[in-house]
Amino acid sequence: MRPRKLLRIARWEVTKNAGGVDKRTLAVAGLAIALIAVLAPAVAAQGAVLDEGIYRVAVDEDSRYYDVVEENPTFVARPDATREDLGESVDLYIEDGYVSPAASPKGRAAKEELRSAVQAYNNEQLRQEANQSAAFPVSVSLEYREQSQAGGTLATDGEDPQQVRDPDNRSDNRTGDGTPVDGNGSNATDGTDGTDGTDGTDGTNGTDGTDGTDGTAGAPNSGGLGGAGSAISGDGDSVDSPSQLSPPFPFESLVLAFVFIIPMNFLIQAYGSTILSERLNRRGELLLVSPVSRYEIIGGKTLPYFAGAMAIEAVIAVGLTYVGTGTIGGLVSIAAILPLVALFLAATFVGAMFARSFKELTFVTVTITVGLTSYAFVPAIFTDVTPIALISPLTVVVRDLQGQAVAAPEFLFSVTPPLLSAIVLFGLGAGLYREEDMFAQRAIPLKVLDALAGPVRKRWHVGAMVAVLLPFVFVLQLLAIAVLFALGEVSIPLLLVVVAVVEEIAKSLPVYAAYAHKRFERSTVSALVLGAIAGAGFFVGEKITQLAQLVGLPELAQGQAALQIAPTDVGAPILIALFFLPLLLHGVTAAISAVGASRGKRAYVVALGVAMLVHLVYNLAVLSEVLGNV
């Protein structure tokens, strides 16, 4: 790869309108984006009243509820409606201070909504009272502490990775628990925080000791973004009315996530167009026959978009850091967003190499947008809850913006899979960047096979190809964990199904592609050998998943199920067996599907199904064994 050639292609891409966008378009787009930026606050405010006028309420003007209904945009007051109209033109009927809902889901929802509206209205009125201690007699400071014997889903201390959610068992353990445990000071407070509340040991007076907790325990963390800091980080909360308590739901982090993701969606539109337009009317042939390698062409065409995207993201990251903390920073955020940008571009590149028409490209781009946004997004929801959040690089960004430190292993765990995936995607796409594929109208599945079979010349190449696919397997499985994990215990068998399907496809597809391209002779012996190679390739690559152990993902029962990490508390022979059992499994299942692949499409599909089934049975057996040991 010669940088000078690459840069020249990059310069053409920007200046010669080979891929760039003319000034008129830029001006209109710039103006529109500026207008959107101006509108954004108004639109955000509108979001809250999306449910404007959804519920209709029959309420007299002299009723106390009238003001509530009037002030809340969700409701429409219908003072003239009668009881007969209930369920027809009104959803709630209020008479003499009694609220009757229509006998429908809508009526019930309206009543529930009225309940929270009344609460908000009361609080608002009480704010204006002169005697605030009578209006809000209870003040609360909320702290979060670790439970060393966590009975929930997570064992945060890492001692006991096999712990699963088992509420029934837990309640059995304390059936005779009517008598409270007496406080004999069994070093329960593990000193995680600086509250002074513990001095009220006798529990009867305690009045003077607790006064100070308000200030110390619940102080919102300083690194947060504006006043929302404490809500984001879940470090604690101090409020003068219990109704203001908020659970640790990182709404702001979702908004931040969108800010980073949205520019990417515009960018990949243009990038996809530029790649696909090379393929129209054999336009790209000129570059292909010129004395530059395809890597230089691809690099040159991608560089401006990558640089542009990183510039935009860097401005966002530095800007948000400045707004949030008042300092110049955000380097970690920029580094964390880089693999995501690369992944967006790489997926679009492959999509543009696959697409046969602009229309198809549009759908491919939308698919990429949706898929990658959810990959970045779903885990980030759990930013404060569990280590699962680290699956998404956005979590690193959110934490960095909040001024929290991100440890190096966590950072690596978060960014490595998308970065590797991006590299692999570019590699596969580059395999298609040649005359036969660029200018021919081939169906997408055939092109996928082309891409996979392209570099395969020798048998061991199949194993290497399988190993190369692992980042995808990893990303898909992580995404599945994030998506399914909220379902609780049901998620584990579902995950095993996902694991079996994804892994078997990854192992067998390169073999099938090689056969489809007549790379190897179609005999059973050769198929068995290829299968064994593919299985071994997968096994070697899979050991990368040990990376997951660095951040404690295996402590999650779901993480275990997906990644098949061996327990650490068994004897050496079993450990060795558990280490090599997967090799056997991958070899066997890959051989099954390879034999099918050597006999044509239909046999391949059947054999693949069998392989998935074997894999699933194995996983279930191992899982029940592992869980049974506990």
Rule CB under 8 A: which of 215-244 touch other proteins?
Answer: 217, 234, 241-243
| CB 513 to other proteins: min, Å | 21
Among positions 1, 103, 280, 525, the unique one binding other proteins when judged by CB under 8 A: 280
The answer to the question of residue 416 lying near other proteins (CB under 8 A) is: no
> Rounded CA gap, 293 and 94, in Å?
77
Closest CA to 544 of 456, 477, 449: 477
**Binding of other proteins at residue 522 (CB under 8 A)?**
no
Answer whether 227's CB lies under 8 Å from 324's CB.
Answer: no
- CA-nearest of 402, 394, 251, 379 to 320 is 402
Binding characters for other proteins, 531-570, by CB under 8 A (x = yes)? ----------------------------------------
| Residue among 45 and 289 whose Cβ is closer to other proteins | 45
- Specify which residues 99 forms β-bridges with: 94
Q: Which long-range contacts (CB under 8 A, 24 or more apart) does 43-50 make?
A: 49/73, 49/74
* Least separation in angstroms between CB 358 and other proteins: 4
Closest to other proteins by CB, 106 or 519: 106
Residue 336, Cβ neighbours under 10 Å: how many? 27
Smallest distance from the beta carbon of 300 to other proteins, in angstroms? 17
Contact pattern for other proteins over residues 133 through 152, marking x by CB under 8 A = xxxxxxxxxxxxxxxxxxxx
Q: How far is the CB of 601 from other proteins (least distance, A)?
A: 17
Among 4, 16, 43, 227, binds other proteins (CB under 8 A): 43
For other proteins, the binding residues in 12-31 under the rule CB under 8 A are: 19, 21-22, 25, 28-29
Say whether residue 204 binds other proteins (CB under 8 A).
Answer: yes
The structure tokens listed for 217 are: 């325990």
The reply to whether 52 sits near other proteins by the rule CB under 8 A is: yes
Residue 23 vs residues 17, 72, 270, 308: alpha-carbon distances, Å: 10, 47, 15, 17
| Count, residues near other proteins per rule CB under 8 A | 148
Residue 301 CA: distances (Å) to CA of 276, 290, 339, 358: 12, 15, 18, 19
Stretch that binds other proteins, among 118-126, 292-300, 461-469, 540-548 (CB under 8 A): 118-126
Using the contact rule CB under 8 A, the part of the chain among 94-102, 424-432, 463-471, 505-513 near other proteins is 94-102
Residues 335/341/345/347 CA torsion (nearest 10 deg): 100
Q: How far apart are alpha carbons 498 and 494 in whole angstroms?
A: 6
Nearer to other proteins by Cβ, of 1 and 36: the residue is 36
CB distance 453 to 516 below 8 Å? yes
- Of these, 35, 525, 577, 630, which contacts other proteins (CB under 8 A)? 35
Least distance (Å) between residue 365 CB and other proteins? 9
Among 287-295, 315-323, 350-358, 502-510, the segment contacting other proteins (CB under 8 A) = 350-358
Q: Please report whether residue 76 would count as binding other proteins according to CB under 8 A.
A: yes
> Please, which residue, 276 or 430, has the CB nearer to other proteins?
276
Among 484, 503, 507, 506, residue whose Cα is nearest residue 495: 484
| Distance between CA atoms of residues 94 and 73, nearest Å | 18
**By CB under 8 A, residue 158 contacts other proteins:** no
Two tokens at 180?
């409270």
* Positions 421 through 480 that interact with other proteins (CB under 8 A): none
Query: Interface with other proteins by CB under 8 A: which range of 108-116, 220-228, 346-354, 542-550?
Result: 108-116
**Residue matched to tokens 């994990």:** 485
Place of tokens 């050496």: 572
**Pattern 239-278, other proteins, x by CB under 8 A:** --xxx-xxxxx---------------xx--xx--xx-xx-
Supply the minimum distance, in Å, between the C-beta of residue 57 and other proteins: 11
Residue choice 11, 156, 288, 613 for contact with other proteins (CB under 8 A)? 156
Q: Of 117-125, 421-429, 507-515, 527-535, which part binds other proteins (CB under 8 A)? A: 117-125
Report in angstroms the alpha-carbon separations of 564 from 32, 351, 495, 572, 605.
50, 32, 11, 17, 26
For residue 51, list its beta bridge partners.
Answer: none
Question: How many C-beta atoms lie closer than 10 Å to residue 81's C-beta?
Answer: 18
Least Å distance, CB 578 to other proteins, is 28
Near other proteins by CB under 8 A, which window of 182-190, 514-522, 601-609, 611-619? 182-190
φ, ψ for residue 386 (rounded to 5)? -145, 165
Report the residue from 4, 61, 186, 291 that binds other proteins according to the rule CB under 8 A. Answer: 186
Sheet holding 98-101, edge to edge: 75-77, 55-58, 92-95, 98-101
Which of 263/493 has CB closer to other proteins? 263
Q: Which of 446, 440, 452, 268 is nearest to 342 (CA)?
A: 268
Write down the least CB distance from residue 171 to other proteins, Å: 5
Site for other proteins in 377-406 (CB under 8 A): 378, 381, 384-386
Q: Pick from 96, 207, 291, 572: which binds other proteins (CB under 8 A)?
A: 207
Find the binder of other proteins among 195, 325, 348, 392 (CB under 8 A). Answer: 195
Whether the Cβ atoms of residue 345 and residue 365 lie closer than 8 Å to each other: no
Nearer to other proteins, 120 or 544 (CB): 120
- Closest approach, Cβ 276 to other proteins, in A, equals 8
**CA distances for 68 relative to 72, 450, 535, angstroms:** 6, 65, 66
Whether the Cβ atoms of residue 163 and residue 155 lie closer than 8 Å to each other: yes
358 lies in the binding site for other proteins (CB under 8 A): yes
Q: How far is CA 570 from CA 161, 573, 574, 578, 608, in A?
A: 13, 9, 7, 10, 33
127 is written with which tokens? 């704010």
Chain-centroid distance, C-alpha 32 = 30
Kindly tell me which of 276 and 449 has the beta carbon lying closer to other proteins. Answer: 276
Packing angle of the helix pair 251-279, 358-381 (nearest 10 deg) = 160
**Which residues are CB-contacts of 377 (< 8 A; sequence separation ≥ 6)?**
254, 257, 261, 392, 394
Closest separation in Å from C-beta 243 to other proteins: 5
Smallest gap from residue 364 Cβ to other proteins (A): 8
Segment lying near other proteins (by CB under 8 A), choices 46-54, 286-294, 451-459, 536-544: 46-54
Residue written as token pair 């000071």: 185
Radius of gyration over every alpha carbon of the chain, rounded to an integer in angstroms: 30
- Residue 565 per-residue DSSP state: P
Nearer to other proteins, 171 or 327 (CB): 171
Residue of 81, 101, 299, 533 interacting with other proteins (CB under 8 A):
101
Compute how many other C-beta atoms are within 10 angstroms of the C-beta atom of residue 214: 15
The distance of closest approach from Cβ of residue 428 to other proteins in the complex, given in angstroms and rounded to an integer, is: 20
Q: Which of residues 477-516 bind other proteins (CB under 8 A)?
A: 483, 486-487
